[in-house]
A = this chain, B = another copy of it.
Amino acid sequence: MTTTNQILQNEKYQSCIDACFDCAESCEYCTTCCLREQDVKMLTRCIQLNRDCATICVTAAAFMSRDSEYAKQICNLCADICEACAQECEKHTNMDHCQKCAQACRRCADECRRMSG
């Protein structure tokens, strides 16, 4: 039988899981949009960080969803990568996809930092 505690466990994670999935989606989409820009060459670090950010966000969401012993540790690393990705995306002020991605990364970094704290 699922105990109330287990239900609450998952609710405790919900806003962070949502932020991780949203950030993963934004990073996958931002990568595709960057590849469609004329000057891809200036966006290669953005793409590299988007790749890592998408991967770690999905991993962190999986750890929280399964109530892993290591949820805090993965969220701590996820926050670091989200911050680096946000910082890079914020440089591209004329690109909607980078601006939206930066917002998703900032939100995810905050949620993951709180979770890991």
A interface residue numbers (CB < 8 A to B): 1-3, 6-7, 10, 17, 21, 24-25, 28-29, 31-33, 35-38, 40-41, 44, 47-49, 51-52, 54-56, 58-59, 61-63, 65-70, 73-74, 77, 80-81, 84, 94-97
Given A1-B37, A24-B62, A73-B80, 16 additional A-B pairs, CB 8 A = A1-B95, A2-B33, A2-B97, A6-B32, A6-B33, A7-B96, A21-B21, A25-B61, A29-B65, A29-B67, A35-B47, A36-B44, A40-B41, A52-B63, A59-B59, A77-B77
Helix, strand, loop or mixed for chain A's interface? Answer: helix
A90 to B80, CA, bound (A): 33
B77 touches A70 (CB 8 A): yes
A73 touches B66 (CB 8 A): no
* Oligomeric state, in copies: 4
8 closest Cβ pairs, A-B complex: A28-B65, A21-B21, A40-B40, A25-B65, A28-B66, A35-B44, A32-B66, A59-B59
